Structure 1
Amino acid sequence: MRRTAGPAHPQQPGLDMLRGLCTLLVVLHHAAITYGAIGGWYYREVATSPRLDVQLLVFFCTVNQAWFMGLFFLLAGYFTPPALARKGLFDFVRGRLLRLGLPLPVYGTLIGPATIALAATARGKPWGETFLTLLQHNTFENGPLWFAQALLLMTGAALAWWWGRGRLPGPAAGPWQPDARPWPRRRTLLLAALATGATAWLLRQAWPVGVNVWGLQLGYFASYALLFGVGCRAARSAWLERLPGTELRFWWRLALCCLPVLPLLYGLGARWPELRSAILPVAYAFWEPLVAWGILLRLLQAFGPGWRPTRRWQTDLSRRAFAIYVIHPPVLVAVALAGAGVGAAPLLKWAVTGSLSCLLCFVLAGWLLRAPWLARLL
């Protein structure tokens, strides 16, 4: 989630808007976990259950998980080569360490523990006492800033790869000029999806979904790493500027066809538990990229080179995206706790809490960015 004072790419401001909208989706995703969806979050008011509205939230999060964080890695990779070519290695690395490396420890040592303490008040524990205890134990909670942690690692790996091959972009090479490599063939994308699914399944044998290693769920990193690399390659070949309509339609239709497969298998697993334990994990690993490819391509088309902001809030959202991403956990937890005593269906509480949290994060991010030193970081 790269931040700039203006559009991240002068010809594609739509990508900044897309990133901003997906940041709000992250807020809604975590709100859904609060009210019954599957996943890790600081505060859960409703347990996962078979009731229909809760299962709708489960499906909402499952579909999101297939593509939305992958989109952030894809866009991060897409902006890496031209930024490196424009700034040079030293300024590029310094900027990455400042804008990713600094927010990570600030969140991990202060905001994360503060959010844990806030959620603990639902169990009758005083916020101040819990927060001080966490600080005394040197608690580090990376929370959603795992993305910054992973992006630093991937960027470092990309720099080492280019340097080893003698292809490190830089100002000495002249103005950034993408090459003319053709768009990948359908067979290549299909093989990439199958390879991603197989790799994800293998990773989950060692690190099942929900298991963290240094704050990272490695079971999802097959698609994250691939999409970051694809983003770097897309920048070098201007693929996002020339998305082929035929392939877009094919992958979008395939994604729509695949969407109901996982809920169907899950429903059958309720009747035959052996099916759920044996087949569902494999199906889930392959289902994710087949759904993700279509959604990603459709969104990249919708917010492609021809998109231009028509409202002030669109420009503001693009600028505030990373700030919203960083501050949304304590805001969402606070809003959910404020409404904990309200008796309403989980789906309704999700809609109200999620929407209000998005609005508050948008406003608060605007206030924070008025401070010049924060604007340089966020």
Structure 2
Amino acid sequence: MPGRELYIDRLRVVMTALVILHHTALTYGAIGGWFWRELDPSASVSSRLLILFCTTNQAYFMGFFFLLAGYFTPLSLERKGYARFLCDRFLRLGIPLLAFGLFLGPLTAAIVEAFQGRSFWGTFVWLWNHKQFINGPLWFAQALLIFSLAYCLWRKLAGAPLTQSERAPKLVPSNIWWIISAIAVGAIALLIRQFVPVGVNVWGLQLAYFSSYIFLFALGIAAWRHDWLRQLTWKNSRLSILRATLFWIAMPVATYFLATHSGGGSGKSNVPSGLSVSAIFYAFWEPLVAWGLIAAWLLAFRKWQNQPSNLWSWLGRRAYAVYIIHPVILVLISLLLHGWAAPALIKFTATGSLTIVACWLLSDPLVRLPGLRRIV
């Protein structure tokens, strides 16, 4: 695509690799739901470090995906029109979501059940008979499809003509705006968590995190319209980056509360709810860290990773397929390495690295198949 910011595609690659490592960390002692857990969360050093890693990721990386998706949404809609845009969204998001929920998700669950001595095909039958739709990490596609529909509805109701696709550059918002938006997002997250705590799914979505996701998707739309990514500099984002650094240093406090309330290895995130000090801290800590981390990634990659590269192009073209298939590959590799007696951090590194390489290699034929390449 002419004029496309190459560094944004590379950020997608890195964030996809982080998703794989995040889920690998859950396998070996971090807090959160996943198909297979070899080690439960504990007070061990390795578990605390993996919790720290996942807590940092959770603060920003999926929100970052939504921001990047929002950034390309207005131009895509204005070029294609409502009908073609929505058909494309259902093709690229809806089909992978259905494929994972009806096949890849049950397949991953069945592999784990078979490893534990239960019936492989019996698991499939039980899941289908009980109408269990496992969206797994494809919850992102589900949410993005909803956001895309909402954006189309908003554009239609606002009466904004799709022929007006020009940008209207404005200055990047000031530091006070960054602070106010983080506080507002944190406050809304805290409010939502009074009714839907972290770890509770509603239609397969963890609504406890959606104040940040919705805001960042909308911010991505505004960033395209006002050309904010090109105008982003150290000068107008340094205070947010420094603020994120200071709050991140306080992360051991957050991980202490997470580990303390982990529920003895239930495998589900159990961040304190209600209006406890820890719940309030966590709700505001997330956006205050996220805004700075996202700005730092954007600045670094725009400066050093915005040149043509055959390797990055190859990785970027396969990143979405990797995102879709990685749960099956990760579970298989972690089960194959189950008998290996090694420290958790060593197994995390080995399993994560092998999964990343295997996923990109296995995704290569998928993006070449005539029927699939339009989807992935």
Normalised-by-shorter TM-score class: over 0.9
**Structure 1 residue 252 corresponds to structure 2 residue 241:** yes
Query: Residue type of the partner of 1:138?
Result: K
1:292 pairs, out of 285, 290, 295, with 290
Q: Where do 1:122-137 residues align within 5 Å?
A: 122-137=115-130
| TM-score between the two structures when normalised by the length of structure 1 | 0.92
Give, in angstroms, the shift of residue 134 of structure 1.
Answer: 2.0
1:118-176, CA deviations, whole angstroms, 9 ceiling, x for partnerless residues? 111232113233223323333211111100111111111111112111114x2x33xx3
Change (3 A) 1:270 1:29: closer
Matched with 2:198 is: 209
**Structure 1 residue 375 corresponds to structure 2 residue 368:** no
Q: Where do 1:157-176 residues align within 5 Å?
A: 157-168=150-161, 170=162, 172-173=163-164, 176=165
Give, in angstroms, the shift of residue 311 of structure 1.
Answer: 4.2
Greater shift, 56-65 or 148-157, is seen at 148-157
Give, in angstroms, the shift of residue 109 of structure 1.
Answer: 0.5
The alignment of Structure 1 onto Structure 2 pairs a total of residues equal to: 365
**Partners of 1:113 and 1:216 in 2: CA distance:** 18
1:342 pairs, out of 336, 340, 343, with 340
**Structure 1 residue 138 corresponds to structure 2 residue 131:** yes
Give, in angstroms, the shift of residue 307 of structure 1.
Answer: 3.5
Greater shift, 232-241 or 298-307, is seen at 298-307
1:194 pairs, out of 172, 183, 193, with 183
Matched with 1:102 is: 95
Change (3 A) 1:306 1:10: farther
Contact 2:175–2:237 (Cα < 8 Å) also in 1: no
Greater shift, 249-258 or 50-59, is seen at 249-258
Contact 1:240–1:304 (Cα < 8 Å) also in 2: no
Matched with 2:219 is: 230
Query: Residue type of the partner of 2:223?
Result: A
Matched with 2:312 is: 314
Matched with 2:16 is: 23
Change (3 A) 1:265 1:371: closer
Contact 1:201–1:285 (Cα < 8 Å) also in 2: yes
SS at match of 2:353: helix
**Partners of 1:305 and 1:53 in 2: CA distance:** 34
5+ residue gaps, structure 2, are 262-271
Matched with 2:43 is: 50
Contact 1:193–1:290 (Cα < 8 Å) also in 2: yes
SS at match of 1:264: helix
**Partners of 1:31 and 1:213 in 2: CA distance:** 24
Contact 1:259–1:291 (Cα < 8 Å) also in 2: yes
Give, in angstroms, the shift of residue 373 of structure 1.
Answer: 1.0
Matched with 1:72 is: 65
Contact 1:266–1:280 (Cα < 8 Å) also in 2: no
Give, in angstroms, the shift of residue 347 of structure 1.
Answer: 0.7
Matched with 1:4 is: none
**Partners of 1:167 and 1:32 in 2: CA distance:** 45
**Partners of 1:28 and 1:212 in 2: CA distance:** 22
Change (3 A) 1:135 1:268: closer
> Alignment identity in percent?
43
Change (3 A) 1:80 1:127: same
Change (3 A) 1:108 1:190: same
Matched with 2:84 is: 91
**Partners of 2:254 and 2:83 in 1: CA distance:** 51
1:341-363, CA deviations, whole angstroms, 9 ceiling, x for partnerless residues? 11111111000000000000000
Greater shift, 184-193 or 214-223, is seen at 184-193
